[in-house]
């Protein structure tokens, strides 16, 4: 199974207002594991860089001025993603920009049914949040120390790890190990989970002899009742 974890950086929040994609980063997953194949490019937006956007990703108009246009990289981007499932954090934002850029060139949009949004996954799994990429890294113990600013490829690499954790993580034993851990709901730090205590003496049976006799008689009226097997095993024990 092939999946593409991706991220974009832009000049702002709305392609309809003239904002453009300035960076695309993609990480290929095969059966949920990074294959080592990536796609990354900076893109000349042919416009200025608002200060608010520059503070987020640090990409200036001067730096991007000699980079290729989206039209120059569109074919290689489309070839790289192929028909794979696309995974992003707050995917609606990235898809809004990518499909706008593709539409400007006459390309069909990337279909919504191909998209997995890790923000939606995180909100379902952790309904009380926080569910930003940085918060999820802290929750799952993923090193994001290199993430001093947003960067499309780095964020995609980090998101690939977060996505794995949202799917169930690196605990191939499904969390049934001898030392399970949970997160402190205030600090998100892992803490040891207390083991369930065993009663020193079993609780007494709440059913009296008459009730048990009635139940045994009722089960005897049933044909091929599964309870009969348990009764035989109990009698033989």
Could you give the residue numbers annotated as active site? 150
Phi, psi of 40 (to 5 degrees): -150, 135
Structural contact between residues 164 and 32, judged by C-beta atoms closer than 8 angstroms: yes
The per-residue DSSP string of the chain comes to -EEEEEEEEESSS-GGGT--EEEEEEEEEETTEEEEEEEEEE---SS---HHHHHHH---HHHHTTSPPHHHHHHHHHHHHTT-EEEETTHHHHHHHHHHHHHHTTPPPPPGGGEEEHHHHHHHH-TT---SHHHHHHHHT---TT-SS--HHHHHHHHHHHHHHHHTTT-TTTT-SSS-EEE-TTT--EEEPPPPPPPSSPPPP-S-HHHHHHHHHHHHTSTT-HHHHHHHHHHH-
Structural contact between residues 56 and 43, judged by C-beta atoms closer than 8 angstroms: no
Structural contact between residues 45 and 97, judged by C-beta atoms closer than 8 angstroms: no
């Amino acid at each position: 199974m092939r999946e593409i974890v991706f991220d974009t950086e832009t000049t702002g929040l709305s392609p309809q207002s003239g904002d453009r994609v300035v960076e695309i980063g993609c990480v290929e997953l095969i059966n949920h594991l990074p294959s080592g194949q990536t796609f990354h490019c900076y893109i000349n937006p042919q416009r200025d860089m608002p200060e608010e956007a520059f503070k987020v990703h640090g990409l200036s108009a001067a730096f991007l001025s000699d980079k290729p246009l989206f039209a120059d990289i569109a074919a290689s981007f489309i070839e790289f993603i192929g028909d794979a499932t696309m995974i992003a954090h707050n995917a609606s934002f990235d898809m809004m920009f990518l499909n706008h850029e593709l539409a400007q060139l006459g390309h069909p949009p990337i279909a919504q049914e191909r998209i997995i949004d890790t923000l939606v996954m995180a909100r379902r799994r952790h309904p009380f949040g926080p569910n930003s990429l940085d918060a999820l890294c802290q929750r799952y113990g993923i090193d994001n120390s290199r993430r001093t600013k947003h960067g499309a490829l780095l964020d995609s690499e980090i998101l690939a790890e977060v996505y794995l954790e949202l799917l169930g993580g690196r605990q191939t034993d499904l969390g049934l190990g001898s030392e399970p851990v949970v997160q402190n709901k205030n600090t998100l730090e892992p803490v040891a989970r207390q083991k369930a205590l065993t009663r020193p003496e079993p609780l007494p049976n709440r059913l009296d002899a008459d009730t048990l006799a009635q139940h045994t008689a009722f089960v005897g009226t049933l044909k091929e009742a599964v309870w009969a097997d348990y009764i035989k095993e109990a009698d033989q024990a």
